[in-house]
Structure 1
C-alpha cells in the first residue's frame, strides 16, 4: 500500500518474482472500505501517505492484526516512528533503501507469525535467549531505542560517549544477528510478548528512567 504509483508497481514486480501474489492499494481508506473482501495476508504499508498514514492505519487494523500482519516501509522514518510501529505489533520496519532479501525475509516472517501460533511462541523464546546474551549497558541501550529515543538521549542517560554507544550497538547487532536497529527492536518486543503484563525483559531498574524521558 503506497500512494506512489511507481513504488506500487516496483514492489508488485518484486513480490511476484518472490512468488507472492500482491494486491495494490493507493491509500488506507480504499483498503479499509474493501477489508471484508480482502483475503488475509501480509500488509506492506508505507508510513507516510495522505489521508490515513501508516501508523493510523495500523491502529485501525489493530483488531485484525493476526489476520493482516504489517510490514511497515519508510524513507523518512526515525527511531521513534520505528519503535512506535513495532510496539504496535508490526512484524518488521524497513527503512529505504532495503534489499530484495530484506523484503522477502520480512514478508515470510509475517506469514509464519500469522499462520502458526507455535511459531509466535518460538520467536518469543528465541528473543529471550538473545536478550539474555546482552550485558547491562547493551540491554539498557536497546530498551532506550525500543522506547523510541535517540542516540544522543542514550549517551546522556547511560553516561556513554557516542563512540561507546556505537560499540554497544554493534555488539547488540552481533548478538542478535541483525544489521539494523529496527530488527533488534522487533526482537525486543517479540521477547516481551511472551511475558504477562508487568514482567519485562532486562533489568527493571531502567523502567522509570526510560519512560520518564518520553
Structure 2
C-alpha cells in the first residue's frame, strides 16, 4: 500500500506552508493545493489519505468541494479548518460526513492527532475494500449453475430442496456446492455465508488511481 498522504486545500500560502511543515515533523507526506478547483483537477493515489480543507475560499468553498467529492464517490476523511466558523456551517459539515471541524487558530498537536487517526481509519477502510475486491474476484469465477446453488444456500435452503427446485439430483447439488466452496476458498458453510455477505455489503472501488498533483 502507498504511503499515507495528507491533502491540504487552502488559499492562504502561509497556512499551507505551516501545515506542510507541521506534517513533516511527524513524517507525513503533504500535498498542497491553493484552491478547490486545483484539488478537483488532481487525481488521488491508492494509499491511505485524508483531506485538510479550508471552508471559505475564493471560487468553490470547502463545503461545496467536499459534497461534490462525495457525489463522485471519492471517500476521503475530511478535517475542516476555518477562521469564520458558525453553527449552521459546522452542522452542515458534520452531516456531510466530516471527521472534524476546527476553528483557526487551532492547536497543532490536536490537529496532528486527528489527522493521524483519520489516516488510520482510511487505511483500515482500504484494507477492507482490498479484501472485498479479492473476494469479489473469486465470485466471478463461479459458473451460472454454481451461482444458482449459492443463492439458495444463502437463502437457507437444504440440499434436497435445492435439488427439487433445480430439477437435479442431491448429488449434483453436492458437487456444485463443493466446487463453489473450493473456488471461494471456504472451508465450511459458515465461512461460505460470511464470504457471500461480505461481497454483497462491500463498497465498490471509489478512487481514481494516479499520482496527485501539487498546486
Q: TM-score if structure 2 supplies the norm length?
A: 0.51
* Cα deviation, residue 113, structure 1: 2.1
- Could you tell me how far apart the structure 1 residues matched to 2:25 and 2:43 are? 25
Mark the runs of 5 or more structure 1 residues left unpaired by the alignment.
118-214
- Residues 65 and 89 in structure 1, CA contact (< 8 A), matched pair in contact too: no
Secondary structure of the residue aligned to 1:93 is: strand
Contact 2:48 2:123 in 1 (8 A): no
Q: How many residues matched? A: 119
Q: How does 1:96-111 map to 2 (within 5 A)?
A: 96-111=104-119
2:21 corresponds in structure 1 to 13
Q: Could you give the per-residue CA deviations for residues 71-118 of structure 1, whole angstroms, max 9, x where no partner exists?
A: 10011011211111011011111111211121112102211221224x
Give the Cα separation in 2 of the matches to 1:9 and 1:38: 24
Counterpart position of 1:123: none
**Are the structure 2 counterparts of residues 51 and 39 from structure 1 closer, same or farther at C-alpha, using a change threshold of 3 Å?**
farther
Instruction: Write 1 or 2 for the structure with the bigger share of helix.
Output: 1
After TM superposition, the structure 1 = structure 2 runs for residues 67-106 of structure 1, keeping only pairs within 5 Å, are 68-106=76-114
In structure 1, the partner of 2:192 is none
- In 2, the alpha carbon distance for the partners of 1:64 and 1:18 equals 30
Distance (whole Å) between structure 1 residues aligned to residue 89 and residue 16 of structure 2: 22
Aligned partners of 1:108 and 1:64: how far apart in 2?
23
Name the structure 2 match of 1:27: 35
More strand by share: 2
- The aligned counterpart of 1:116 is 124
* CA distance in structure 2 between the partners assigned to 1:107 and 1:53 by the alignment: 21
CA contact (8 A) 1:73 1:93 kept: yes
Alignment RMSD? 2.4
Segments of structure 2 that go 5 or more residues without pairing to the other structure are 1-8, 126-215
Equivalent positions of 1:42-191 (< 5 A) are 42-62=50-70, 63-66=72-75, 68-117=76-125
Shift of 1:23: 0.3
Determine the C-alpha separation between the residues in 2 that align with 1:69 and 1:30: 18
Q: Which residue of 2 aligns with 1:3?
A: 11
Task: Evaluate the alpha carbon distance shift between residue 116 and residue 38 of structure 1 in structure 2; reply closer, same or farther with a 3 A threshold.
Answer: closer
